[in-house]
Amino acid sequence: MKTPRLAGQRAGIFPALLLCLSALPGPAMAEPRLAMPVDCTLGDTCFIQNYMDRDPGPGAQDFTCAGLSYDTHKGTDFALPTLSEMARGVTVRAAADGVVKGARDGMIDRRYTEAEDARIDGRDCGNGVVLLHADGWETQYCHLKQGSVQVRNGQMVRSGDALGQIGLSGRTQFPHLHISVRRDGAPVDPFTPDGDPGTCRGGDARTLWIDDIAYQPGGVVAAGFSVDVPSYDAIKAGTPNVSPLPGDAPAIVLWGYAFGGRRADVLQLTITGPEGRVFNTRQLIKKDQAQFFRAGGKRLKAPLPVGNYTGTITLIRNKQIVSQRQVTTRVD
């Protein structure tokens, strides 16, 4: 993620910013303590797709030396499972007290492709906000929804104040907040601020986060039933779940949408109905995948028994359960 300049990042604004910063608490702000920047529940309504890249070479490693990152990524990506959640509105909040150093709005929400380069024109962050904190610290919030930015240049904000909403603006292919932390212009990993630059381990267990943000190496983020295998676009949009299922459906299909897949992972899909197990499959993940979905089910020669049906999607790694999600539907 590049760090483009946002509107208001010019020399003339800094005297006003310094006056505002002088009104913030002194010693406590020497190093910002960061609150959760998104109104969501990690592991349920949102997830961390990418962490800061700690690999100095062409590869990518997160702070645990695992692969939830990509080359040169300089922030943390708090992602939503589908576009439906984005449309409903998920608030982005200031992670710490600060002053608005720059803000931009007005860019459309559209999934990035190479054809979008001319439109984006270096504004990779999309709609965003930069907050200046004391002692050279900054936080930057990217990919906000068009028309949602609520702050202006030079405005003082407190931790928890609304800045905007998660969107799909700029260089991104899924709805998320990209938050960067910097000191004197240099990126800082909020999960291991004492770690040596360019290494995926180092320092003590201290983080900049106020709350315990547990590391999740991958997970099932959405699931649903359908009468056929849905398209990937429909799953990412959040539209394919069918409930209740018609009694004369040609098939019953369970799908699961997950992130952080690793080669040799297994995604297990199980359907259980009022008369017991209806379907079960274990599907091998053959390569690392940032996001993926799998589906499976049973063609029906006779109507399904009336009642409730439960789908269980389990992500398994090295014979251990990484994540599990259940979804229910009914046949009337």
- Summarised one tens digit per residue, pLDDT across range 318-328 is 999 999 999 99
pLDDT score of 21: 53
User: Considering the domain boundaries, does residue 197 fall inside one?
Assistant: no
Q: 3-state DSSP call for residue 191? A: coil
Total of domains in the chain = 2
Q: pLDDT tens digit string along 121-146?
A: 989 999 999 999 999 999 999 999 99
The answer to whether residues 47 and 133 belong to one domain is yes
Q: Name every residue whose Cβ is closer than 8 Å to that of residue 23 and which is 6 or more positions away in sequence.
A: 156
User: Considering the domain boundaries, does residue 251 fall inside one?
Assistant: yes
* Domain CATH number, residue 168: 2.70.70.10
The answer to whether residues 15 and 129 belong to one domain is yes
Q: Give the domain extent around 178.
A: 11-187
Task: List the chain residues with pLDDT less than 70.
Answer: 1-29, 203-204
pLDDT score of 14: 45
User: Considering the domain boundaries, does residue 92 fall inside one?
Assistant: yes
Instruction: Please give the single-letter amino acid code of residue 250.
Output: P
Q: Name every residue whose Cβ is closer than 8 Å to that of residue 92 and which is 6 or more positions away in sequence.
A: 37, 38, 39, 141, 144, 162, 163, 164, 165, 166, 177
pLDDT score of 13: 44
The answer to whether residues 35 and 178 belong to one domain is yes
The answer to whether residues 311 and 164 belong to one domain is no
User: Considering the domain boundaries, does residue 183 fall inside one?
Assistant: yes
Among 134, 166, 187, identify where a domain stops: 187
CA distance 133 to 187: 14
Extended strands (E) in the chain: 47-50, 76-79, 91-93, 98-104, 127-132, 137-144, 156-157, 162-165, 176-183, 186-187, 219-226, 251-261, 266-273, 276-284, 289-299, 307-317, 320-331
CA distance 236 to 63: 28
The answer to whether residues 61 and 162 belong to one domain is yes
Instruction: Tell me the HSE value of 261 on the side-chain side, using a 13 A CA sphere.
Output: 25
pLDDT score of 203: 65
User: Considering the domain boundaries, does residue 213 fall inside one?
Assistant: no
pLDDT score of 160: 98
C-beta separation of 111 from 167 below 8 A: no
